[in-house]
Amino acid sequence: MFTSIAIIGRPNVGKSTLFNKLTKTREAIVSDFPGLTKDRNYGYIKLGSIKSFIIDTGGIGKDESNLSQNISDQAWMAANECNLILFLVDGSESLTSEDLDILSNLRKLNKPFITLLNKSDKSSKSEALNDISSKGIKDYLDISAEHSRGLDDLRKLLIKMLPEKNDEIVPDGKKIAVLGRPNAGKSTFINNFIKEDRLVVSEVAGTTIDAIRIPFTIDDNEFVFIDTAGIRKGYKQNHKVEYFSYVRAMHAVEESDVILFLVDSDESIVDQDLKLINIIAEQGKPLLIGLNKVDLLTRSERSEIYETKRMQSNFLKDFIKVEVSGMKGLGFKRLFRILNSLIKKSQTNYSTALLNKHLNKFIERSAPPSVGGRQLKLRYVHFGGTQPTTLIIHSNQDNKIPSNYKRYLVNSFREELGLKSIQLRIIFRKSDNPFEGKVNKLTERQIKKKKRLMKHVKK
């Protein structure tokens, strides 16, 4: 289920600090300077079996400037679209007229919200508690986002208040999310692939505004296409339809088994495509690039696509590219064969014996370098998980390993295991020395022998 949490409040009450603590990141800039957050920031929060989207908003104020009004509008857009709202106030100060206005507007939304008194660690006493009680708020939490005080209680409350089960019927089958910029031909491609006019198709970019699931069957195997809205440049600053279309697209990525990223081959790969591909790759999902609308290009124009600097970059070399035409149905069989193969590959568990056989081969081919004057020793490797495919290498060093040797191992494993278009991550762990801290105690016989040998040495 699509769930999201919005943090709102007036400027400088600690929204960005709380966002960073809940997401366990440093994505939001934190400063004592009020009004620093201007655009909505977003991330994920994991609460038991629930993984929810969380949005940090700019401070809602009474300043009549255009910038302040835009920031407030962005915050209320997030509040309107989310499932749950965290209303943050400065517990070390009395409630201001801005706080009271926000509370009044919150109640008009008719959405569940949690009132949080932040900065409870400060010694200064305020009338904030009395103020919220006088406004009819009996349930609240005292927290200190900066010192992580009260956040465990907040997480428990969020688990209770967020929906855990999906109320909508989700089709069974392997899920293929179709992403790309607006007008890349995603809906046309899906309609022709399943041979049904299930999706509205228009030359106007942005016709699709939600993530739509379309089940289909091939060779008695069930699959689900997830058609997503085209993601424009500057989606964070745009109006709520585009912004939350992006949010839903990212949720589609999270629940899918493989990503098909469609590109308008007439425009080739642009910077926005690279940015989106990078965001998707960070989620650990396998990704296939589909060069759509190739029926509109000549043979020489098709060749020129692969000669561009972006297409020849090291980043894109790790992904499989397939030429298709959503309108004419060209390349569909090969595309689906590769998509199905990527799903199986991304879910494969590799044996320790096989991985160590390859690792020894790579070490013989190129010996590990010295790190800090010590020879790097790669002792063994084992499988660590899928999506991304994770390998854990135990060595005598776990940091300061040269990036070029890391890249060499990633490329070698990717090639040997056939992991093109599969996200691969290698983690280095320092192996414990089994003899560290142990004293080698000699037996009485060994002590006598040592004394006897030492007499000969002295002579």
Instruction: With CA atoms as reference, report the closest residue to 7 among 65, 74, 75, 67.
Output: 75
- Which residue would you say has higher pLDDT here, 76 or 30? 76
Point out the annotated binding site for GTP.
9-16, 56-60, 118-121, 180-187, 227-231, 292-295
Which residues are 194's β-sheet partners?
none
pLDDT band at 115 (very low <50, low <70, confident <90, very high): very high
CA 393 to CA 152: how far, in whole Å? 34
Q: What is the pLDDT of residue 124?
A: 59
The average pLDDT across 236-244 equals 52
CA 23 to CA 145: how far, in whole Å? 12
Spell out the domain ranges in the chain: 4-161, 174-346, 352-430
pLDDT band at 267 (very low <50, low <70, confident <90, very high): confident
In the β-sheet with 287-292, what is the strand arrangement from edge to edge?
A: 212-218, 221-227, 174-179, 258-264, 287-292, 321-323
Is pLDDT at 7 greater than 50 in this prediction?
yes
Is pLDDT at 228 greater than 80 in this prediction?
no
Is pLDDT at 122 greater than 70 in this prediction?
no
pLDDT band at 34 (very low <50, low <70, confident <90, very high): very low
Is pLDDT at 286 greater than 70 in this prediction?
yes
Q: What is the pLDDT of residue 210?
A: 46
Q: What is the pLDDT of residue 169?
A: 44
pTM confidence score: 0.61
**Top-tier CATH class for 352-430:** alpha beta
CATH topology match: 4-161 vs 174-346: yes
Question: Across the chain, what does the average pLDDT equal?
Answer: 81
Residue 83, Cβ density class (10 Å: 0-12 exposed, 13-18 middle, ≥19 buried): middle
The average pLDDT across 31-58 equals 67
pLDDT band at 345 (very low <50, low <70, confident <90, very high): very high
Q: What is the pLDDT of residue 358?
A: 96
Read off the pLDDT of residues 297-338 as tens digits, 9 standing for 90 and up. Answer: 888 988 888 888 888 888 898 999 999 998 888 998 899 999
Query: Cα 225 to the chain's mean position, in Å?
Result: 21
The average pLDDT across 416-425 equals 94
Is pLDDT at 436 greater than 80 in this prediction?
no
- Which residue would you say has higher pLDDT here, 413 or 266? 413
Q: What is the pLDDT of residue 258?
A: 94
Q: What kind of fold does domain 4-161 have according to CATH?
A: Rossmann fold (3.40.50)
Read off the pLDDT of residues 293-303 as tens digits, 9 standing for 90 and up. Answer: 999 988 898 88
Q: What is the pLDDT of residue 114?
A: 92
Q: What is the pLDDT of residue 128?
A: 77
For 51-60, 78-87, 196-205, 261-270, which range has the lowest pLDDT when averaged over its residues? Answer: 196-205
pLDDT band at 217 (very low <50, low <70, confident <90, very high): confident
Angle ∠(1,182,242) on CA atoms, nearest 5: 50
Point out the annotated binding site.
9-16, 56-60, 118-121, 180-187, 227-231, 292-295
Tokens matching residue 172? 């069974």
- Which residue would you say has higher pLDDT here, 398 or 175? 175
CA 193 to CA 190: how far, in whole Å? 5
Percentage, residues of the chain above pLDDT 70: 81
SS3 404: helix
The average pLDDT across 362-375 equals 88
Q: What is the pLDDT of residue 123?
A: 58
Look at the block and give the residue holding tokens 């929810």: 52
**Top-tier CATH class for 174-346:** alpha beta
Number of residues assigned to the chain: 459
pLDDT band at 244 (very low <50, low <70, confident <90, very high): low
Q: What is the pLDDT of residue 29?
A: 44
